Amino acid sequence: MDVAYINPFIESTLRSLDMMAGIKADKIGLELKDDHITAYEISTIIGLTGETSGSVIISMPTSLACKIASNMLMEEIQSINQNVEDAIGEIGNIVVGDARRTLMQDGHSLNISIPTVVIGAGHRISRPGNVPCIAIPFRTEFGDFEVNVGITEN
């Protein structure tokens, strides 16, 4: 996978969380994954099509999801509900949409699907084995989370 595809997602994650929810995050690693994604309690999945095909999965613990939703909606939310699910889908949409804009400015063409949100303690997410996936863990004061970018060039 062309590493040029990764940086826009790192930057858009940091920017979107800060802008939309006032939460500062630090990238704490970057690894190529070929096994299952170890997911947190809530994940949002956005499909990519165009000159590349793939998906972006953002997984996080309940604590961080509630904090993001609380800050976006300006009300205190303690547990996962419809508002939190919508907020996490929306954050996924913004992160991937922002990265897409950067990639298109660099001459790439890609389209993104609407986000789906998966909720469930201990859910796992699997991707076709032939699609390389880069996992990017981040740290915030409300918990760690992970952005997974899996792209194959068509």
Looking at residue 4, the DSSP 8-state letter turns out to be G
Q: Closest CB to a second copy among 24 and 124?
A: 124
Q: Which residues contact 97 (CB under 8 A, 6 or more apart)?
A: 112
Q: To the nearest 10°, the Cα dihedral for 63, 69, 70, 72? A: 140
Closest approach, Cβ 118 to a second copy, in A, equals: 5
Q: Sign of dihedral through CA atoms 40, 75, 138, 126?
A: positive
Q: Closest CB to a second copy among 25 and 42?
A: 42
Closest approach, Cβ 80 to a second copy, in A, equals: 10
Footprint of a second copy (CB under 8 A): 45-50, 53-55, 57, 82, 85-86, 89-90, 111-129, 131, 150, 152
CB 55 within 8 A of CB 45: yes
Q: Closest CB to a second copy among 25 and 115?
A: 115
CB 35 within 8 A of CB 118: no
Closest approach, Cβ 14 to a second copy, in A, equals: 24
Q: Closest CB to a second copy among 67 and 127?
A: 127
Q: Helix, strand or coil for residue 36?
A: coil
Closest approach, Cβ 41 to a second copy, in A, equals: 10
